Chains A and B, each alone.
Chain A
Amino acid sequence: MKNVQKLKRANKSLPFFFKDEFKVSFVIIFVSIILLLTTFTFDVVPPILNRGIQPATFPKALLVLIITMTLLVYYLATKNPWKNEKKLPKSFFLTLFSFILFVIVSKTLDFFLAISALSIFVSYYWGEKRLFYLLLVGIIFPIIVFIFFETILGLRFPPGIITNIYYS
């Protein structure tokens, strides 16, 4: 009971910019403003080609709507605060990191290698330590998927150090 009271007091004492409702609203409004500014760089169509409204008008209206509604969400949250979310565990950040790793490896080295690396990495950090299962998710299954997609859909995967060997 004491702990709960302490936690409540701690939450109340948090400055507004540390609260989730502020952070989320800030990010949405910040991104929307950047996008809104971008719409001013869109080409303007001469009146003779213009169909109804300028191409920038519709996205502008949407972004203003999003900003307005986000302000409303924030205003309502000041009256009725959001529940505090649990801190994200290490496994989440590792999975997120694996996504970034995937993008880097697929861009620089090889698409297949990127899938393989992510699968092994995620499987290992989620608790799989048995070598056979790591090989199954990291190598055997991606090979099956590759061959399946290639044969059924006639798909050609992007070139890379391993994919090139396969195609040659």
Chain B
Amino acid sequence: MDNLLLMLAPLFSSKLILVLFFGTLFGLILGVLPGLGPTTGGALILPFTMTLDPLSAIVLLTSIYCAGTYGGAITAVLINTPGTPAAAATCLDGYPLAQKGEAGRALGMATVSSTVGGIFSVIILVFFAPILAQLAYEFGQPEYFALAIFGLTMLASIGEGSPIKNLIAGAFGILISTVGKDFMTSIDRFTFGINELTEGIGFIPVVVGLFAMSEMLTQSTLINQVFNRIALKAIKLPTKEDYKKTWKTILRSSGIGSFIGVLPAEGGTVASLIGYSEAKRFSKNPEEFGKGSIEGIAGAEAANNAATGGAMVPTLALGIPGSATTAVILTGLIIHGVRPGPDLFREQPDFLYGIFGAMLIANILFFIFGFFGAKIFARITLVPNKILWPMIFAVSVCGTYSLNQSIIDVWIMLFFGVLGFFMRRYGFSVVPVIIGLILGELVEGTLRQSLVIFDGNWLMFFTRPIALTFFILSLIALAFPLIRSKKNK
């Protein structure tokens, strides 16, 4: 009962309500604009959160996360281009349905299923995050090392694209985290005599580079592309028939999305693809999929928004991000001096339940904004790229510079922009780089401390039951793509 009251606290703070309004609105705009999204938006707004108290800052970031994930559906339905990667599966049926003159119905279903998925995942978060945090009390350095390895192998297992390429990208992310002074011995590593690199490579320049700048380069290859926009008159709430047809799909996808979200991987993108394929598998009319099936939209959208709450579970309980955007939120927590993990649940329940409550309200807010304002948000896509991207460049450059007031950070951002472009071009996902970067210090630190505990004996890792379980799970995660590809053959 006390926790429920704590969850409702944001409703009684005018400041938090204002932050939620702004975050949801900003998140929706970011979600609607192809190429941008909650990860880039969160990274760009991170410096501004320094002017806020910790709770407001994290509420802002989480509301951007929830609304941004939904916003991608508007563009997916109306111009057949996912606003965010998580909305890719929504295009498959959203656009064909819009082409049939039912854009309002498609967006109505996307809005309702996103909201249900989002709220479902917040309930999962409220119940499971404290349990996981309680379990984390049993974790020592070896267990955290094994857990981080498990997280990285999961990226290979259920991430998009080639598992080996994902592992290379993850290892590269960890390698970036080793740049600068070694945190245990203060010895310079990969600094090449550049003073600014002794502090290491910051998270923000890498995120903004890999997401925003690489996207700018991608857009530069598409300047002659013409989008066929479908006009939207008004969003229509699903009919009784639609609800009858889709309620099971929405619930199933909400469960799938929450579960996938908990696993440290690409969150919403993978969740929506699995949610969509499962909706097709269980459907009475699978032949309608790809031609404007309302179940297809429900399956994809409920799953990707359900992944938002799911991804917050390991982020808050263990300090292991469940997706790229939660890696940004984790950075926000660290910047504001909040240490995620079991102690957070014991010492600052008001802070945590404030976040849970804010996520719940954000899901309701984007329903209202989406329902009444989709027509306006859809117009944002009319801003031509030749105007939009130079503006995004200016904000990215200033945002990156602002955190450390370092011009080197801006150059690092540009370098990662070019690198990110070529990585994507040749099938290397950039998400593992982000997860690797944020987990790098944890992986190395826990490994070295474990070896101190074990007196240098590596085999001692396997004498710890929890660590051994994570290693076995890691092996299964690595074997899974092989089994999957053999099965597909």
Contacts and interface: CB of A to CB of B under 8 A. Distances in A.
Interface of A: 20, 24, 28, 35, 38-39, 42-43, 45, 49-53, 55-56, 58-59, 62-63, 65-66, 69-70, 72-73, 76, 82, 85, 88-89, 91-92, 94-96, 99, 102-103, 106-107, 111, 115, 118-120, 122-123, 126-128, 133, 136-138, 141-142, 145-146, 149, 152-153, 155-158
Nearest to A35: B190
A94 B386 CA distance: 13
Given A69-B168, A88-B221, A99 B417 contact: yes
Interface residues of B, number: 61
B187 to A, nearest CB: 5
B417 A66 contact: no
B405 A28 contact: no
Contact of B187 (A45, A52, A111, A146): A45
Contact of A119 (B394, B407, B452): B394
Q: Chain B's interface: helix, strand, loop or mixed, by majority? A: helix
B175 A146 contact: no
Given A52-B447, A58-B447, A89 B221 contact: yes
A55 B189 contact: yes
Nearest to A148: B398
B168 A42 contact: no
Nearest to B174: A62
A132 to B, nearest CB: 11
25 contacts: A38-B190, A39-B189, A42-B189, A49-B185, A51-B185, A51-B448, A53-B451, A55-B185, A58-B178, A62-B178, A63-B175, A66-B171, A73-B164, A89-B223, A92-B220, A99-B414, A115-B394, A118-B390, A118-B393, A122-B220, A122-B393, A128-B386, A142-B394, A155-B402, A156-B405
Contacts of A155: 398, 401-402, 405
A51 B184 contact: yes
Nearest to A59: B178
B414 A103 contact: yes
Interface in B392-429: 393-395, 397-399, 401-402, 405, 407, 410-411, 414, 417-418, 425-427
